[in-house]
Structure 1
Amino acid sequence: MRKRPQLTGRAAILAVVVCAIAMSLAYPVREYVAQRRQIAQLERQQAQALKDLQKLGERSKRLDDPAYIRQQARARLHYCGVGEKCYVVLDTSKKAKQPKAGSPPQAKAPWYQTLWESIEAADRGTGQRLEAGRTPAP
């Protein structure tokens, strides 16, 4: 009896064909997976953009309300309406005056406060030039 070889010619050709098919499909499958990943990322970005658009729409509606505008002017610019008495409470305790060691320097006065103080100084005729955050001497 003749011993049959383990790898025949047909099996070798079949193995080559299977390898060729696998290699020809590897690149398209890789591209397909990359495109699916990109589509998922773009869908997340679109959902985030829709959320942002909705928030901006709500903000636009609020900005159309005159009461909201007045409230923001009071809160942000310390606006005081006609005939109203407005007060600014200053903290004069020792803790407020002495900054802690290693803390950043205190912020300068807002621009509108400096402007108002310079107008008051001009009205008094003192001729002093004010620096930001400093009050004139009486």
Structure 2
Amino acid sequence: MKKRPQLTGRAAILAVVVCAIAMSLAYPIREYVAQRRQIAQLERQQAQALKELAELSERTKQLDDPAYIRQQARVRLHYCGTAEKCYVVRDSARQGDTRPKAGATPRAKSPWYQTLWESIEAADRGDGRRVEAGRTPAP
């Protein structure tokens, strides 16, 4: 009995062909997976952009409403209508512990627009000193 070789010529050619097919398919499959990953990422970005667009369009509708504009002017700018009496109640408990320390003189805090104007005046003078809130700079 003659012993057969374990690897015949046909089997070697078949192995080479299978390896060639596998290697020729490896790059396209890798590109396909990368493209699918990129498509998924772009779909997530598109969903996020659509969500932001919906929020902005809702905000645009809100800003087109005159009642909302009046309400925001009252809240943010302390705006009063012509026939209204408005009061601003300051609650120190809501703002935290703002009690002055013993021996300290209480200082009234000026509104933001006064501080802004004082800083503009200081910049015009060019003296480079900072203006603290509630204080008028010395000439």
**TM-score under structure 2 length normalisation:** 0.70
CA distance in 2, matches of 1:115, 1:80: 22
* 1:4-23 C-alpha deviation (Å, 9 max, x unpaired): 01111111111111011101
- Whether contact under 8 Å (1:73, 1:79) holds in the other structure is yes
Change (3 A) 1:90 1:133: farther
1:112 maps to what in 2? 113
* 1:32-64 C-alpha deviation (Å, 9 max, x unpaired): 000001111111111111111111111111111
- Deviation (angstroms), 1:135: 5.6
Cα RMSD for the two superposed structures: 2.7
1:2 maps to what in 2? 2
CA distance in 1, matches of 2:62, 2:110: 30
User: One-letter code of the match for 2:76?
Assistant: R
User: One-letter code of the match for 1:114?
Assistant: T
Paired positions, count: 115
Q: Secondary structure at 1:97's aligned position in 2?
A: coil
Identity %, equivalent residues: 76
CA distance in 2, matches of 1:115, 1:3: 102
Q: Secondary structure at 2:37's aligned position in 1?
A: helix
- Deviation (angstroms), 1:85: 2.1
- Whether contact under 8 Å (1:62, 1:68) holds in the other structure is yes
Structure 1 residues without counterparts, runs of 5 or longer: 100-107, 119-130
Q: Secondary structure at 1:96's aligned position in 2?
A: coil
Matches within 5 A, 1:63-78: 63-78=63-78
Matches within 5 A, 1:93-132: 95-97=97-99, 110-114=111-115, 131-132=131-132
Structure 2 residues without counterparts, runs of 5 or longer: 102-108, 119-130
- Whether contact under 8 Å (1:114, 1:133) holds in the other structure is yes
Matches within 5 A, 1:28-43: 28-43=28-43
- Whether contact under 8 Å (1:109, 1:132) holds in the other structure is no
Q: Secondary structure at 1:95's aligned position in 2?
A: coil
- Deviation (angstroms), 1:79: 1.7
1:82 maps to what in 2? 82
Matches within 5 A, 1:40-59: 40-59=40-59
* 1:76-95 C-alpha deviation (Å, 9 max, x unpaired): 22222223222222345793
